[in-house]
Structure 1
Amino acid sequence: MTAVYHADLTTALDVVLQAPIATLIVDPPYSDRVHRMASSNNSQGDCRPRKRDLGFASLTPELRLALAAVAGHATRWSLVFSDLESGHVWRDALAGLDYVRSVPWVRWSQPQLTGDRPPSGAELVTIHHARGPKHWSGPGSLTAFESREPSPAGVFDARSLRGRDKYSAEKPLDLMLSQVSWFSDPDELVCDPCCGAGTTGQACRILGRPYLLLDSSAEACDIARARLEAPLSDRDRERTRRWVESQRAWLGTPPDTEGGRARYARAKADTDRAECWI
């Protein structure tokens, strides 16, 4: 299955729950406070911040419950992005699953435009798993997804996107390549019910995973479909190259344990798949 649907998860939930979803990866709308406080540089060239419309509404209780239902249906991992202050919301919403870890994504951030407080330079990825045995394909030293060059051991450098050509709140492809690779296996269905510009789907396409994408915005779905049907853009190819390099950097020598060798083999196979695209 590779599909992009223009649909709101709250009304399409029954259909989504019929799909054999292995992994949920989603960047849903954030809290009302985050949306109210969103700002950017003033286009008139002065120093005053201006209100920024993110292009979609803040998180509703109905959407939170629908996402929790999808997470409960998934047979393996569920990864949910949020602002740092809302991690507990997703731990509570997914209480029926095994809570595994909360990993920050330390992204690039513009300076705090009001000048009266520190900027918000990170988001949180709350990670759950269906009850039962677990495995993943990522580096054992991971402590954060971080924007830093050069990257120290234990962090993954996935700098956030800038510029007018990015979709609102779009996540970088190298970040999503990591999440798809590390938390799913080939031929396992990955679901992103708030897909935006389709970056999760692009990562699945590169790594050989089927995907099920939804978004309530018709414009977002059109962008995602066009992107997934076209050759890789220069930006996506460059992000893929960066991801391949980061994978090669941590793979190194195969571990000497059975589980470590299996994880290494899965990670290397995905790295080889991605390298074919650059």
Structure 2
Amino acid sequence: MGGIETDTMLIVGMLLALGAGALSFLSPCVLPIFPAYLSYITGISVKELRGNQDVKIRRKLLSHSVFFLLGVSLVFLSLGVGASFLGRWIQQLLLGESGMLIQRLAGIFIIVMGLFVAGWINITALMKERRLHYSKKPAGYLGTFFVGLGFAAGWTPCIGPIFGSILFLAASNPGQGILYTAMYVIGFVLPFLTLTFFLGSTKWIVRHSQVIMKVGGIVMIVMGLILFTGQMPRISGFLLKLVQDTWFAKLG
């Protein structure tokens, strides 16, 4: 049963990381400039992008988006790997196998970042935008790839706190850290590719972005409290029992 509970904990963590990636993309500091980024990396005007897209434009959008996201993913995954190795090294050096201190620190960090993301506290240092800017994009797909690297390597008011929480989660669970980071990347990539072809939908999402961020912030706070109190195994056990009871009830 212990192995199944561990798997349940991993699934819960992966789903939270997936949601964190989507929240990063849907945040007010990424989604509103999304059309401008697409225009920049493809050379197609925002007006054309919002209009009826022919096959040629769609192909160009998809290919450049893939190279942009490869650059973004490379940075995110590298940081996730680094956080996992750092967490494992600290645990072995100072804390033994339990790593409870790192887990509690991660919980505190995620709670504070959740309060910030929800808009209930202000942290001036996180409000300073540090994205890398290019006066002129380098030509071709390689240039698009480097723009993706620059975007991910920068620090924006919304992505920084959310992704920083995933890195702390990776450090507190070194064995699953890379998986959490990969799920975060998938969560960021999927809405990016989807909205690439449905730019009109971004207006509706932007109008509700504050609500989305508040809900995301609350989820982060709850997750931080769970980590800090060490209740994840108990919650995983409860979810496992709930699923098993539901499954057996259907079979009965």
TM-score by length of 1: 0.23
- Looking at CA atoms only, which structure, 1 or 2, has the larger radius of gyration? 2
TM-score by length of 2: 0.25
Which structure features the higher share of helix residues?
2
